[in-house]
Homo-oligomer: A and B are copies of this chain.
């Protein structure tokens, strides 16, 4: 009955029913430190949004710079943000993804000596001159494995 023209014609997609496997919090924290590019998830006007950021993971917090848009507004309101980092190898169909949930705050110079990353003086030539910090309150991760039988 199935004519198999669609997904079956696309081997890459066929193998997407990957098995997942949880990572420990320790593994997640190690992986967070291995990358500098991730994504922030925020609910904006009731809708989910995913935005790319470069980040620093230090003192169990994610810090990133941002302009005066969705991410800054969320941080000013102290919203809970999601932050995700992953790696995936299309050939081996293996990878991992770490998800952090935490309340966001805008960093100011007051924070400079609290052991969290030092603020750079803001640069009038760039409009992306706010720093947002996200405490790693809830960390989960999954290992992505090929589907059975591959």
Instruction: Choose among B36, B43, B64, B84 the residue that contacts A12 (Cβ–Cβ < 8 A).
Output: B36
Residue among A52, A56, A116 having the largest count of chain B Cβ atoms under 10 Å: A52
Q: How many interface residues does A have (CB within 8 Å)?
A: 70
B47 touches A17 (CB 8 A): no
Instruction: Choose among B49, B56, B128, B147 the residue that contacts A128 (Cβ–Cβ < 8 A).
Output: B147
A82 touches B50 (CB 8 A): yes
- A39: interface (CB < 8 Å): yes
Instruction: Choose among B2, B39, B49, B99 the residue that contacts A86 (Cβ–Cβ < 8 A).
Output: B39
Nearest residue (CB) in B for A129 is: B17
Q: Within 8 Å CB of A109, what residues of B?
A: 1-2
Tallying the copies of this chain within the complex gives: 2
Closest chain-B Cβ to A113's Cβ sits at a distance in Å of 8
Instruction: Choose among B20, B82, B120, B144 the residue that contacts A49 (Cβ–Cβ < 8 A).
Output: B82
Nearest residue (CB) in B for A111 is: B6
- A72: interface (CB < 8 Å): no
A41 touches B37 (CB 8 A): no
Closest chain-B Cβ to A20's Cβ sits at a distance in Å of 8
Chain A positions within 8 Å of B, measured between CB atoms, are 1-8, 10, 12-20, 36-37, 39, 41-43, 46-56, 58, 63-65, 67, 80-84, 86, 88, 90, 95, 97, 99, 101, 109, 112, 116-121, 123, 125-126, 128-129, 142, 144, 147-149
